[in-house]
Structure 1
Amino acid sequence: MHQPATEARPSIYYTYEVFKPWLPSQHPEQPRHRVAIAGSGPAGMVTALELARHGVPSVVLTSELQFSQGSRAICFTRRSMEILQQVGVADRMTEGGLPWRFGNSFYRGQRVFRMEAPHDPDDRFFPIINVQQQFMEEYLHDACKANPLIDFRWGNKVNAVVQKDGFAEVEVDTPEGPCTLETDWLIAADGGRSGIRSAMNLQMEGASYEGFFVIADIEIDLPFPTERLAYFDPEWNPGNTILMHREPNGIWRVDYQLPSGETPEEALRPESLKARIDAQLAMIGHAGTPWKMDWSSVYSARTLTLPDFVHGSVIFTGDAAHLLPIFGVRGANTAFQDAQSLGWHLACVVKGLAGPSLLKNHSTERVGAAREIITEAGKSTRFMAPPSAGFRLLRDAVLSLSLTQDFVRPLYHWRTSRPHEYTHSKLNSQDDDNALFKAGPAHGAPPQNVRLGDDDFLLDHLGGGFDLLYFTDAQALPAALMHVIEAARTQGMPIQVIAVGATQTVQGADQTLPDADGHLRQRYGVPGQGAAYLLRPDQHICARWLTLDATRLQSALCTALPQ
């Protein structure tokens, strides 16, 4: 019998609510579900909200009765905020978060590198915003709770999964004993220590690094801006690295690497934590500044992924599918992209708009994304925590040279998480004009946001299905194009047409966006009338044309959503 903790977790800055468990005795026997999601972290809840956005109900099963403890994921990228905007929580993230765009690297008391993330007037969101994970989970949970398509079940732990012919039988343990749930699809979003992955004997591919890092959330008043601070080879922790981030509510996050041979248990002793944090504060000129510990933990840097995310009726996502080091804010940010992709792919399968083979495309694309991130993250990890004497020798040479030589300083760059581009996706059109464009987002790229007014951006108008951006100043869409679009809609394909450039409403378009100064056309590399972009439900580009005709639109739609 599963007995989750019922005592609220301690925290200086966050008041935990203990939710009531879902008990089988209080609910009648239910039919087979379309989708069940094991796990209520960032990946699980965003997947549920994405599925609901596409009209697909789901059941969310979480073993705990409260949100996660500690800051955990705190840095969220611009693309993550764009995804969270789609599921309705970006405003709350912005209200309580700390935006930033600069990162600093220090060595021997000298700042040797300053990273500046790009930000221009066309961006609604800053490159990165800091929000503790408990708040983010609260915002996502409130959105789930308000959605009638999401059945959220606290205190329900998945114990076992048996795959049947076309569905999964899930054994769920609750505070009053086990029960069985049947679901067409089970999404394993149960984290880095995924019990479902272990039970299915699935092995990840990649590397684990020997070094351990302590995470410590402390309450302290420091006069530094919201910027990333990285300290290399400090006197109090020779050869190792320390990171610092300002968090909301008067909290600072300190991450420091453990000396070789020290165990996590030794590192988390109160006297050890105090000595290390006091030493770091002294090094930055704030010895004796009072502070309080809120939460601490230990993690190791790992770059691992499953080679396939889809196994029968079970689909892995987030940390259950891959393990990525935090350097470059990759964990939760990658999980959001996983969830956004999985949401629309699975929704199309559940609704009968495509066969299960469409999920192979989701797996191929997201495994490719994980491997790209692993390549980038591996470079950062080897610099932050050299895994061998050779890597340490190289890193130390860079540190030494950076005091006087500008050319080595960019090697400090932490390769911030960026959205994957599905350049070689099978869903991309093969007979469009992608290669002829001189600007604008190309095949597989996420969209370029564009400011349309004081508080009006292009991405505010996209989402919910496929989007066709058609650039015209005519009074109506061509009849031949409308015939193809209506035929696609008749077959169930969700597609919205947005006319760009006209000053008046364009007949046949769902929306008309004026572009008097041509700025949107310039950002998308559109030279004239009749050009178009086709965006998938996750907003990635799958086709673009300098001149669109009905035949090529029909071909692109069939490619983007194969029957």
Structure 2
Amino acid sequence: MHFPEIQPRKSLYYNYEIYPYFHSNKNTLAESDTVTVVGAGPIGMATALLLAKQGIKVILLSAEQQLSEGSRALVYTKRSMEILQAAGVADRIMTKALAWTHGNSIYKGQVAFRMASPIHDNDQFAPLNNLQQNWLEHFLLQTIKEQKNIEVRWGNKIVAHQQNDEHVTLTIHTPEGEYQHISHWVVAADGGRSPIREGMKLRMEGASYEGRFVIADIRIKLDYPTERLAFFSPDWNPGNTILMHREPDNIWRFDYQLDPEIAPEDALKPENLNKAVNDQLKMIGQDHLEWEMDWSTVYSARALTLDNYVHNRTIFVGDAAHLLPIFGVRGANTGFQDAQDLAWKLAAVVKGWSTEKLLQSYSFDRVGAAREIIAEAGKSTRFMAPPTAGYRLLRNAVLSLSLEHEFVRPLYHWRTSRPHAYTHSPLNSQNDDNALMHELTENGALIPNIKFADGSFLYDAISGKFAVIMFTQNGQVPENLISEINALKQFGIPAQLIALAIDDQKVKQADISFTIDPNIVKDCFFADVNTIYLVRPGQHINGRWLNYRENAITETFHQFTQVAEGVNA
């Protein structure tokens, strides 16, 4: 039997609710059009919502009977918010989240480097947004409850996992005992200590760093703007790093590095936590203020990934697939990108318009993303928490020089998480004009988001479907292009034609038509009249043409799967 904690977690700002557990006296069998998602954290919930948006039924399993504790995944990038917008939850999140743009690196009381994240007129969300994970899950769950095709099973702990070429059998423990659940597909979103991954004896590759950090969430009224504060080698914690982030509800998060000889259990003793917080407040001249401890934990900086995320009928996302350092806000933000890429591909397989071969591209694309992030994050981690004496000597030299020499200050840059470009994806068109067009909108990159005159955004129009975007004039679209897209639709592929008119003449034959400023066409899309972009459901460019070529789009779909070869334009 499994007995999750049924006493509501204590919090100074969030009221936890206990959800009724699910138990079945007989084994349950998911229908063929249903996906089982294991893990109801942010990535599991987002995956469930994105699958539901694709018309897939989802059974979402949680070992707990309440939401997670503390701030945890705190900072969400613009890209994550765009994905959460596609999931239908971003508006709720932004009623609570704190948007910000700047980060400060401080040494000996001086701001040695101030990082600014740019904002553009066409941005739908701020570059960075702070919200405690429990609040994020709260809004995700609210949205899930509105979906008729998502069933949440609380208090269901996976204790065994078996699979064959047809289905996956999960043995589940609940407060009433055991039952088995059989599903054709299982998405493992069960976290960094993934029981499914461990049960399958899958090992990650990469590096674990020596640096350990305490997270302390405290309630205090500090009159500081919402900006990231990083303090390097302060007097009270010499040689180490301290981060501060403002959270909603007068909560502030302190992340402070531990000396190697301090055990995590000792660091979390109330007297040691209190001393660290008081020392930090004293250093910034705020030790006269009253404060309360809300939550604390210890984490280590790790940069690890599986080399394959698809194992027969079990697919890994988020921390179950990779463990990334938090420096540069990479953990959950990378997981949301996993969820978005997986959702449309798995939906294509479940709905039958693609074969299972399409899932190989999920692993190729997202493992490639994780490895890129690990290489980039390693630089940040080695500066924030030097793993060797040599790296510490280099960091100390940068700190010292930065007080008087501006040229070394950019070395503080924390390399914020950015969207991965699927430049080498096997899905990218092999018969287009990619090589002849501007590299900033190359295949695999995100299509630029545009705000239209009516206040709507391009991303809202193209989320969840393949979008054939054509720049038009005089309302003209080739008839063969319309016929080709209709043939794709008849085959079950979620395709749509979006016309972006550089004049006021909208295209009646298009699914959606907008008027667009010719300057935006040139400056953002590097395009001209008759240029065509094929965009994935996840907003990444899949192919591009200077002019329409008959059957070129259908031939691109032939790369996805043998099934699509049955489409006749």
- Shorter-chain TM-score bucket reads over 0.9
**Structure 1 residue 124: deviation in Å?**
1.2
Given that 1:246 and 1:252 are in contact with CA atoms closer than 8 Å, whether structure 2 keeps it comes out as yes
Q: Residue 220 of structure 1 aligns with which residue?
A: 220
Q: What letter matches 1:395 in structure 2?
A: R
**Structure 1 residue 436: deviation in Å?**
2.0
Given that 1:542 and 1:560 are in contact with CA atoms closer than 8 Å, whether structure 2 keeps it comes out as no
Answering whether residue 68 of structure 2 is matched by residue 71 of structure 1, we say no
**Structure 1 residue 190: deviation in Å?**
0.4
Structure 1 residues 439 and 163: CA distance shift in structure 2, 3 A: closer
Q: Deviations over 1:168-219 (max 9, x none)?
A: 1110111111101101111111000111111111100001011210000000
Cα RMSD (Å) = 1.4
**Structure 1 residue 28: deviation in Å?**
8.9
Aligned pairs for 1:345-424 within 5 A: 345-424=345-424
Hey, what's the Cα distance between the residues in 2 that align with 1:400 and 1:440? Answer: 37
Q: Residue 37 of structure 1 aligns with which residue?
A: 37
Hey, what's the Cα distance between the residues in 2 that align with 1:220 and 1:454? Answer: 41
Q: Residue 342 of structure 1 aligns with which residue?
A: 342
Q: Residue 493 of structure 2 aligns with which residue?
A: 493
Q: Residue 566 of structure 2 aligns with which residue?
A: none
Q: What letter matches 1:46 in structure 2?
A: A
How many residue pairs were aligned?
561
Hey, what's the Cα distance between the residues in 1 that align with 2:561 and 2:396? Answer: 51
Q: Residue 567 of structure 2 aligns with which residue?
A: none
Hey, what's the Cα distance between the residues in 1 that align with 2:20 and 2:102? Answer: 42
Structure 1 residues 123 and 164: CA distance shift in structure 2, 3 A: same
Runs of 4+ in 1 over 6 A off after TM superposition: none
**Structure 1 residue 449: deviation in Å?**
1.1
Answering whether residue 160 of structure 2 is matched by residue 160 of structure 1, we say yes
**Structure 1 residue 278: deviation in Å?**
0.5
| Residue segments in structure 2 that go unaligned for 5+ positions in a row | 564-569
Hey, what's the Cα distance between the residues in 2 that align with 1:552 and 1:560? Answer: 14
Q: Deviations over 1:208-258 (max 9, x none)?
A: 011210000000011110000000000000100000000011000000000
Partner-residue secondary structure (3-state), 2:236: coil
Answering whether residue 426 of structure 2 is matched by residue 426 of structure 1, we say yes
Q: Deviations over 1:34-61 (max 9, x none)?
A: 3111100111111111111111111100
Q: What letter matches 1:524 in structure 2?
A: F
**Structure 1 residue 553: deviation in Å?**
2.4
**Structure 1 residue 487: deviation in Å?**
1.5
Hey, what's the Cα distance between the residues in 1 that align with 2:118 and 2:384? Answer: 23
Partner-residue secondary structure (3-state), 2:470: strand
Q: Deviations over 1:434-481 (max 9, x none)?
A: 222236522101221112126322112112210011111233421111
Given that 2:27 and 2:179 are in contact with CA atoms closer than 8 Å, whether structure 1 keeps it comes out as no
Answering whether residue 552 of structure 2 is matched by residue 545 of structure 1, we say no
Q: Residue 558 of structure 1 aligns with which residue?
A: 558
Q: What letter matches 2:360 in structure 1?
A: K
Given that 2:309 and 2:316 are in contact with CA atoms closer than 8 Å, whether structure 1 keeps it comes out as yes
Q: What letter matches 2:222 in structure 1?
A: L
Q: Deviations over 1:313-356 (max 9, x none)?
A: 11111000000011000111011000001101111111111111
Q: Residue 320 of structure 2 aligns with which residue?
A: 320
Hey, what's the Cα distance between the residues in 2 that align with 1:150 and 1:521? Answer: 43
Hey, what's the Cα distance between the residues in 2 that align with 1:561 and 1:409? Answer: 49
Q: Residue 510 of structure 2 aligns with which residue?
A: 509
Given that 1:503 and 1:516 are in contact with CA atoms closer than 8 Å, whether structure 2 keeps it comes out as no
Aligned pairs for 1:268-307 within 5 A: 268-307=268-307
Partner-residue secondary structure (3-state), 1:550: coil
Given that 1:440 and 1:448 are in contact with CA atoms closer than 8 Å, whether structure 2 keeps it comes out as no
Partner-residue secondary structure (3-state), 1:215: strand
Q: Residue 445 of structure 2 aligns with which residue?
A: 445
Q: Deviations over 1:139-193 (max 9, x none)?
A: 1111112111111111111111111232111101111111011011111110001
**Structure 1 residue 69: deviation in Å?**
0.3
Partner-residue secondary structure (3-state), 1:549: coil
Q: Residue 255 of structure 1 aligns with which residue?
A: 255
Given that 1:159 and 1:173 are in contact with CA atoms closer than 8 Å, whether structure 2 keeps it comes out as yes
Identity %: 52
Q: Residue 89 of structure 1 aligns with which residue?
A: 89
Q: What letter matches 1:111 in structure 2?
A: V
Hey, what's the Cα distance between the residues in 1 that align with 2:165 and 2:541? Answer: 35
Hey, what's the Cα distance between the residues in 2 that align with 1:520 and 1:246? Answer: 39
Q: Residue 103 of structure 1 aligns with which residue?
A: 103
Q: Residue 237 of structure 1 aligns with which residue?
A: 237
Q: Deviations over 1:511-553 (max 9, x none)?
A: 1101145424531111x32111110111110111111222322
Q: What letter matches 2:508 in structure 1?
A: Q
| Residue segments in structure 1 that go unaligned for 5+ positions in a row | none
Partner-residue secondary structure (3-state), 2:280: helix
Q: What letter matches 1:37 in structure 2?
A: V
Q: What letter matches 1:491 in structure 2?
A: F
Hey, what's the Cα distance between the residues in 1 that align with 2:28 and 2:206? Answer: 43
Partner-residue secondary structure (3-state), 2:126: coil
Given that 2:27 and 2:180 are in contact with CA atoms closer than 8 Å, whether structure 1 keeps it comes out as no
Hey, what's the Cα distance between the residues in 2 that align with 1:31 and 1:422? Answer: 33
Q: What letter matches 1:511 in structure 2?
A: I
Structure 1 residues 557 and 313: CA distance shift in structure 2, 3 A: closer
Q: What letter matches 1:346 in structure 2?
A: L
Q: Residue 116 of structure 1 aligns with which residue?
A: 116
Hey, what's the Cα distance between the residues in 2 that align with 1:200 and 1:515? Answer: 51
Given that 2:161 and 2:196 are in contact with CA atoms closer than 8 Å, whether structure 1 keeps it comes out as yes
Q: Deviations over 1:492-511 (max 9, x none)?
A: 11101111114233132001
Answering whether residue 22 of structure 2 is matched by residue 16 of structure 1, we say no
Q: What letter matches 1:445 in structure 2?
A: A
Hey, what's the Cα distance between the residues in 1 that align with 2:169 and 2:27? Answer: 18
Hey, what's the Cα distance between the residues in 2 that align with 1:115 and 1:453? Answer: 31
Hey, what's the Cα distance between the residues in 2 that align with 1:268 and 1:414? Answer: 27
Hey, what's the Cα distance between the residues in 1 that align with 2:204 and 2:456? Answer: 43
Given that 1:219 and 1:294 are in contact with CA atoms closer than 8 Å, whether structure 2 keeps it comes out as yes
Hey, what's the Cα distance between the residues in 2 that align with 1:546 and 1:340? Answer: 28
Structure 1 residues 379 and 516: CA distance shift in structure 2, 3 A: closer
Hey, what's the Cα distance between the residues in 2 that align with 1:308 and 1:439? Answer: 29
Q: What letter matches 2:67 in structure 1?
A: F
Given that 2:29 and 2:183 are in contact with CA atoms closer than 8 Å, whether structure 1 keeps it comes out as no
Given that 1:450 and 1:520 are in contact with CA atoms closer than 8 Å, whether structure 2 keeps it comes out as no
Q: Deviations over 1:72-129 (max 9, x none)?
A: 1110000000000011111111111110010000011111000000111110100001
Hey, what's the Cα distance between the residues in 2 that align with 1:133 and 1:150? Answer: 21
Q: What letter matches 1:209 in structure 2?
A: Y
Hey, what's the Cα distance between the residues in 2 that align with 1:156 and 1:547? Answer: 54
